[in-house]
Amino acid sequence: MSDHAIHLQLHVWRQSGPRASGRFVTYEARDISPEMSFLEMLDVVNERLTAKGEEPIAFDHDCREGICGTCGFVINGVAHGGQKGSTVCQLHMRHFRDGDELTLEPWRARAFPVVRDLMVDRSAFDRIIQAGGFVSVNTGSAPDGNALLVPKVDADVAMDAAQCIGCGACVAQCPNGAAQLFTAAKISHLAQLPQGQPERYQRAQAMVAQIETEAFGSCTNYGECEAVCPKGISIDFIAMLNRDFLKAAVRVEREARVAGGSG
């Protein structure tokens, strides 16, 4: 623990709206306590800007405990700032040194248009889930929770994938702007569990097709996504996505003779 206040120089991307053009503006962040979180440091900068009559820097954040997935921007080229397994809200100023110069940029991807300053629109992720990231089970139609046994290891692997917080760092850091890790996490989570089997291949196809529609890039197995993922989700899951997708592509779909139900 150190109580020496530090002084930083911030180059922050400012953009007033989705269609406006943006630019970098430099701010001095003086007397920053090392105990602050990065977002608390920005709070302080914003308080001071407001006092001077300048509009504060807009950034997304909510839970500030690393689980909601709302926060995230790029600090010196690294999504969430480079602390392993953490979001930017969990990054503390003790990791920076007096005099550091930091460049803050929003997630950069065509599928994530800038909303304002460091905020982007990640609704493309919601649409990928809409394409098939669910189990089609209506409320009330579930059997007893223990009716289907799930091997512990399957449940654990499913949980490894299901931890994804949907922050978008994977897309931001990927040199291709690909959404593979996010999509793979959901496909793998459901593919590990018996409940996910009935729609497994159709799901893989539909979600992959949605990636294309949203104009994400293509995965070339750089592994950058995994390195910045706050939940450390492994790119092994991307291989699972690929496998399910390819199986789906070459599978001969059975079709029911009678379409729909009548009577």
Partner 1 sequence: MTATTTTTSTGLLDARSPGGPIETRWERCKFDLKLVNPANKRKFTVIVVGTGLAGASAAASMAELGYEVEAFCYQDSPRRAHSIAAQGGINAAKNYQNDGDSVYRLFYDTVKGGDFRAREANVYRLAEISTAIIDQCVAQGVPFAREYGGTLANRSFGGAQVSRTFYARGQTGQQLLLGAYQALERQVAAGKVKMFPRTEMLDVVVEDGRARGIVVRDLVTGRVRRHAGHAVVLATGGYGNAFFLSTNAKGCNATAIWRAHRRGAMFANPCYTQIHPTCIPVSGDYQSKLTLMSESLRNDGRIWVPRRKGDTRRPGEIPEAERDYYLEARYPSFGNLVPRDVASRNAKQVCDDGRGVGPGGRGVYLDFADAIARLGRRAIEERYGNLFEMYERITGEDPYSAPMRIYPAVHYTMGGLWVDYHLMSTVPGLFVLGEANFSDHGANRLGASALMQGLADGYFVIPYTIGDYLVDHMGEKLSTDTAAFAAAESEVRQRIERLLGVRGKRTVDAFHRELGHLLWEDCGMARNDAGLRRALERIPALRQEFWEDVNVLGGGDELNQALEKAGRVADFFELGELMCRDALHRSESCGGHFREESQTEEGEAKRDDERFSYVAAWEWAGENRAQVLHQEPLTFEYVHPSQRSYK
Partner 2 sequence: MKGVSSLVRTAVGKKALMAVSGLVLFGFVLVHMAGNLKLYQGAEKLNAYGEFLREVGAPVLAHGQALWIFRAVLLLAVGVHLWAAATLTLQSRAARPVGYRVATTVQASYASRTMRWGGVIVLLYVLFHLADLTLGWANPAFQAGKPYENLVASFTNPWVAGLYLVANVTLGFHLFHGLWSLFQSLGWNNPKFNPWRRRFATAFAWIVTLGNVSFPVSVLMGWVQ
State which of residues 9, 11, 14, 40 lies at the interface with partner 1 (CB under 8 A). Answer: 40
Closer residue to partner 1 in complex, CB, 7/94: 94
Q: How far is the CB of 235 from partner 2 (least distance, A)?
A: 7
Closer residue to partner 1 in complex, CB, 5/246: 5
Residues 113-142 that bind partner 1 (CB under 8 A): 115-116, 119, 121-123, 125-126, 129-131, 133-142
Query: Which of partner 1, partner 2, none binds 129 (CB below 5-8 Å, type-dependent)?
Result: partner 1
Phi, psi of 32 (to 5 degrees): -95, 125
State which of residues 7, 94, 110, 247 lies at the interface with partner 1 (CB under 8 A). Answer: 94
Residues 179-238 that bind partner 1 (CB under 8 A): 189-190, 192-193, 195-196
Closer residue to partner 2 in complex, CB, 148/239: 239
Site membership for partner 1, residue 100 (CB under 8 A): no
Using the contact rule CB under 8 A, the part of the chain among 99-107, 147-155, 236-244, 248-256 near partner 1 is 147-155
Whether 220 contacts 165, CB under 8 Å: no
Whether 112 contacts 122, CB under 8 Å: yes
Site membership for partner 2, residue 14 (CB under 8 A): no
Site membership for partner 1, residue 108 (CB under 8 A): no
Helix (H, G, I), strand (E, B) or coil at 119: strand
- Give the helix, strand, coil percentages of the chain, each rounded to 5: 35, 15, 50
The Cα-based distances of 222 to 78, 80, 106, 144 in angstroms read 15, 18, 21, 43
Q: How many of the other CB atoms lie within 10 Å of CB of 3?
A: 7
Whether 93 contacts 33, CB under 8 Å: yes
Counting residues that bind partner 1 (by CB under 8 A) gives 81
Whether 154 contacts 89, CB under 8 Å: no
Site membership for partner 2, residue 256 (CB under 8 A): no
Site membership for partner 2, residue 93 (CB under 8 A): no
Q: How far is the CB of 189 from partner 1 (least distance, A)?
A: 7
C-alpha 32/C-alpha 42 separation (Å) is 10
* DSSP string of 183-218, one letter each residue: HHHHHHHHHTSGGGSTTHHHHHHHHHHHHHHTT---
C-alpha 196/C-alpha 188 separation (Å) is 9
Site membership for partner 1, residue 54 (CB under 8 A): yes
Q: Which residues bind partner 2 (CB under 8 A)?
A: 11, 24, 74, 76-78, 82, 103, 105, 108-111, 173, 175-178, 205, 208-209, 211-212, 215-224, 226-228, 235-236, 238-250, 253
